[in-house]
A = this chain, B = another copy of it.
Amino acid sequence: MNVGIYGASGYVGGELLRLLLQHPKVTVSAVTSNTYAGEYVFRVHPNLRGETNLKFEKPDISSLTDKCDIIFLSTPHGVSSTIVPEIYDSGVKIIDMSADFRLKNADDYPKWYGWSHRSPELLEKAVYGLPELHRDDIRRANLVACPGCMAASAILALAPIIQTGKVEKNHIIVDTKVGSSGAGSKPTLSSHHSEHYSVVRPYKPVGHRHTAEIEQELSAIIKDEVKISLSAHSVNMVRGILATCHVFLTEPINPVDVWRIYRGSYGDEPFIRLVRDRRGVFRYPDPKIVTGTNYCDIGFEVDRNTNRLVVLSAIDNLMKGAAGTAVQDMNLMLGFDESEGLKGIGLHPV
């Protein structure tokens, strides 16, 4: 199968390349970049030196649809919705890494993103690409919207306990800690090493746009409105997200029962590991431990003092939070083994 990446010079594009170049069932036929057209990809993604002689080419949709069976769109929010219709009509499958097709309700775009959607008719055709929630729909989809990185970590952490219906739906707090690669590859004062080193920067304490997709997905589970209080912090690491989800329960719950709930939801999932040791440095999820892998590590504790459940989930934002889930989606859409190309063991220590 031939795959293309539209917009491959950023960190998500680079991570897609890393995965797809090693994937045994696909060939990377085209990667585009306006800025770097004509340049070897390894000049931009130095880890690819010696691995490929691929070059960036100018974006040209008809050329891409001719060459590819499936196209990943790794473009800024608001851009892919202008491109997707043409690709969609060509019959080529699409995995969109942006937010443009994640929300079902067109009205949510002006509200959360500040612009009106240009192809609202495609929103219902798009599938929210979180395999753990929508595996069968993804298999049948032609257009998949890959979840936001913070949304992926929060939804996976919360879905099983939300499903029990025993949660105070308006007091759910998601406190996330994100590595610098989450802000992309473009230098800014905020990402300047001297300014970012050692920070714990609460860059979005309220109003983060991933709130919309988290509320959408969790509300759908119980067919009732769930409100999410999301706060995002940037910390001194490159890859990774830890989502600390604080949930108040409507009745006391035992750790053993929480374990059963999560085991029931995720026992067969290839990329979710439940982490709950009694002791040791590695007894809770930590993004450090999933670096470079597609795992979402999930753990929890019950706080009897306040009848609170703390669910912790750790992902690599470029993997399970972006390129890894996208390849997992591709595997489902193309009928491959779901884990194909995603089995590499992570590094430790790193």
Contacts and interface: CB of A to CB of B under 8 A. Distances in A.
A282 B193 CA distance: 15
Given A180-B194, A305-B229, A238 B171 contact: no
A191 to B, nearest CB: 5
Interface stretch (A72-80, A101-109, A122-130, A287-295): A287-295
A75 to B, nearest CB: 19
A286 B349 contact: no
A246 B348 CA distance: 32
A349 B177 contact: no
A312 interface: yes
Nearest to A347: B292
A47 B297 CA distance: 11
A349 B238 contact: yes
Contacts of A228: 306
Contacts of A286: 199-202
Interface in A234-263: 235-240, 242, 244, 246, 248
Contacts of A273: 49-50
This chain: how many copies in the complex? 4
Contacts of A202: 242, 244, 284-286, 299, 310, 312
A186 B348 CA distance: 15
A217 B238 CA distance: 38
25 contacts: A11-B349, A18-B347, A22-B344, A22-B345, A43-B282, A45-B348, A47-B345, A47-B347, A49-B275, A50-B273, A171-B171, A173-B173, A186-B192, A194-B349, A198-B237, A198-B238, A201-B288, A202-B244, A202-B299, A205-B303, A206-B301, A207-B305, A229-B303, A231-B310, A292-B350
Given A198-B237, A198-B287, A205-B301, 4 more contacts: A14-B348, A179-B198, A187-B192, A206-B301
Interface of A: 11, 14, 18, 21-22, 43, 45-51, 168, 170-171, 173, 175, 177, 179-181, 185-203, 205-207, 211, 227-229, 231, 233, 235-240, 242, 244, 246, 248, 273, 275, 277, 280-282, 284-289, 291-293, 295, 297, 299-303, 305-306, 308, 310, 312, 314, 343-350
